Amino acid sequence: MLDLKEAGIETQLVVANMILPQDACTNDFFKNRRNMQIRYLAEIQNRFQLPVLQFPLMQEEIKGLYHLEAAVASL
């Protein structure tokens, strides 16, 4: 993000993608993975001091405006 600022691009939002939902973490692997994501989200919040938009892990990758609008509407 510092590189963007140095280039004169102001950042207003951080997007965190593929966040595991709590209810999907039914075994140790996914519980550990979610705990790691929670730590990273806290680091992102502390480092950037910006709003963070979190997208959960979805079956299909978000591609294109239509899918992005649908994903945002589902939040």
pLDDT digits (tens, 9 = 90+) for 45-66: 998 889 999 999 988 888 888 8
- Contact (Cβ atoms closer than 8 angstroms) between residue 55 and residue 13: no
Give me the percent of the chain exceeding a pLDDT of 70: 97
* pLDDT (0 to 100) of residue 1: 56
* pLDDT (0 to 100) of residue 36: 98
For 34-45, what is the mean pLDDT? 96
**Distant-in-sequence, close-in-space partners of 56: CB < 8 Å, separation ≥ 6:** 18, 19, 20, 21
For 12-29, what is the mean pLDDT? 94
SS3 51: coil
What ranges do the domains of the chain cover?
11-73
SS3 16: strand
Give me the percent of the chain exceeding a pLDDT of 90: 52
CB neighbourhood size of 41 (10 A): 15
- Contact (Cβ atoms closer than 8 angstroms) between residue 25 and residue 62: no
